[in-house]
Amino acid sequence: MTKPPVSTIRRDRQTPPVRGRLHALAGRARRPRRIAMLSVHTSPLHQPGTGDAGGMNVYIVELAKRLAALGIEIEVFTRATSSELPPTVELAPGVLVRHVTAGPYEGLIKEDLPAQLCAFTHGVLRTEAGHRPGHYDLVHSHYWLSGQVGWLAAQRWGVPLVHTMHTMAKVKNAALAEGDTPEPAARVIGETQVVEAADRLIANTVDEAAELATHYGARGEQLAVVHPGVNLEVFRPGDRRAARERLGLPLDAMVLLFAGRIQPLKAPDVLLKAVAVLLARRPELRERLVVPVVGGPSGTGLAKPQSLQKLAAQLGIGDVVRFHPPVGQLELAEWYRAATVLAMPSYSESFGLVALEAQACGTPVVAAAVGGLPVAVRDGETGALVPGHEPEQWARALEPYVTEPELVARQGAAAARHAQGCGWGTSAAATAEVYAGALARPAGLLAGARRRLA
């Protein structure tokens, strides 16, 4: 995967605040010493696959570790969700997680958190105030809630703000699953403010960068494209037979795997409906077909946590579908290796880390042709892209993978080769370049953000 060039931002020059003045003196590209990384609504310590924990958690953990390996210290600020959590946890050498008290520890969902941003911001600023001026060289915020905090912290400290959206309200609302709840107007407004305030916006793909420009007015000089990566030490090819033995799967099964959060956006129901269509057309496949669903309810899926189990029963495929709770990365890699193919019918994906992880394990991927999935999956080479969400379409796309073993072997080998060029080290190095570019200009607010604060 070729790393795209990092664009250069032109910023309005002004005298920076005293606390950030040292950062503006050099005026040359340099890597930061220490980053304040913000993740308000979900902690890098949480188990991906349930609640609000997902690909963003993996992204922050892996990026922080690789940046630390490059000599950049990372401090991740996240909301404390238990009174028993220590104030700080060392995630890895050079990576510190700071728990900020902001509202009740339990009982708050993501939609409740805008009311706690003031408290969270106070905790972040108070932590920095306990250090000598210039403790943080840069703020990197993740998701729009964190961007709201990062906007103020970066301005207060006189340092650049780098922001990664991960998902965008306008993009999600344009591709809602049937019956799903649209993102509120308050989020759209908040995202627009963050885009205007950020010095750099890191997009996962060129298409995401274009969406930031089209939907939110991001300027070309703000945008940098950095593909996420995959942990090649954990996700690697292995013995499929041994993986199935360890997971209790039939050795001769045709395994159609879904791995991720169970919510309408991820569309696991599309997979189940496609399986029902496939079995109606090819009933002889039933004896060998296994459809594991590995993950837990999340987002709007929390309102009906048993809906997928009920759907499987209604479709008459309860005998082939197996539900498993979220698992850690090592066991998740085993599920990928055990699978014949991974299915990702999502309505929206900023990139689709799960697709890259499965391919790194030598498993082809059948994915919806949305968001970053056409970048993660090479259509016809490492899997297949489906231009829609109709169950009949998906049944046709999946059928060759359960009837043509040579296709699985060929595309699985190509998938593993494809993923080898997508390690997190490459992503971290490109992100460090984005940081250096942001530091090369005097720190301060963009014109639009200055007007709003005035």
CA dihedral angle for residue 38, residue 356, residue 72, residue 143, rounded to 10 degrees: -10
Q: At 359, list the tokens.
A: 């391919």
At 289 the pLDDT is 97
pLDDT < 50 stretches in the chain: 1-28, 443-454
55 is in an annotated binding site: yes
Q: Could you report how far apart the first and last alpha carbons of the chain are, in Å?
A: 44
pLDDT per residue over 251-262, tens digit each?
Answer: 999 999 999 989
273 is in an annotated binding site: no
Global pTM reads: 0.85
What is the amino acid identity at position 387?
P
331 is in an annotated binding site: no
At 198 the pLDDT is 97
327 is in an annotated binding site: yes
CA dihedral angle for residue 434, residue 156, residue 132, residue 80, rounded to 10 degrees: -80
48 is in an annotated binding site: yes
355 is in an annotated binding site: no
41 is in an annotated binding site: yes
143 is in an annotated binding site: yes
75 is in an annotated binding site: no
260 is in an annotated binding site: no
**How many other CB atoms are found less than 10 A from the CB of residue 405?**
11
363 is in an annotated binding site: yes
pLDDT per residue over 271-328, tens digit each?
Answer: 999 999 999 999 999 999 999 999 988 666 566 768 899 999 999 999 999 999 999 9
57 is in an annotated binding site: yes
349 is in an annotated binding site: yes
d(CA 164, CA 404): 40
Contact 34, 137 (CB under 8 A): yes
At 21 the pLDDT is 34
Proportion of the chain above pLDDT 70, given as a percent: 87
d(CA 197, CA 401): 47
347 is in an annotated binding site: no
Q: 3-class secondary structure for the chain? A: CCCCCECCCCCCCCCCCHHHHHHHHCCCCCCCCEEEEEECCCCCCCCCCCCCCCHHHHHHHHHHHHHHHCCCEEEEEEECCCCCCCCEEEEECCEEEEEECCCCCCCCCHHHHHHHHHHHHHHHHHHHHCCCCCCCCEEEEEHHHHHHHHHHHHHHHCCCEEEECCCCHHHHHCCCCCCCCCCCHHHHHHHHHHHHHCCEEEECCHHHHHHHHHHHCCCHHHEEECCCCECCCCCCCCCHHHHHHHHCCCCCCEEEEEECCECHHHCHHHHHHHHHHHHHHCHHHCCCEEEEEECCECHHHHHCCCHHHHHHHHHCCCCCEEEECCCCHHHHHHHHHHCCEEEECCCCCCCCHHHHHHHHCCCCEEEECCCCHHHHCCECCCEEEECCCCHHHHHHHHHHHHHCHHHHHHHHHHHHHHHHCCEHHHHHHHHHHHHHHHHCCCCCCCHHHHHHHC
337 is in an annotated binding site: yes
54 is in an annotated binding site: yes
Instruction: Catalogue all structural domains in the chain, each as residue range(s) with its CATH number.
Output: 20-229+424-453 (3.40.50.2000), 240-420 (3.40.50.2000)
At 44 the pLDDT is 87
56 is in an annotated binding site: yes
d(CA 92, CA 103): 27
187 is in an annotated binding site: yes
Q: At 440, list the tokens.
A: 């090369």
Q: At 174, list the tokens.
A: 């344009």
The dihedral region occupied by 330, where left means phi > 0, alpha psi between -120 and 50, and beta the remainder, is alpha
8 is in an annotated binding site: no
310 is in an annotated binding site: no
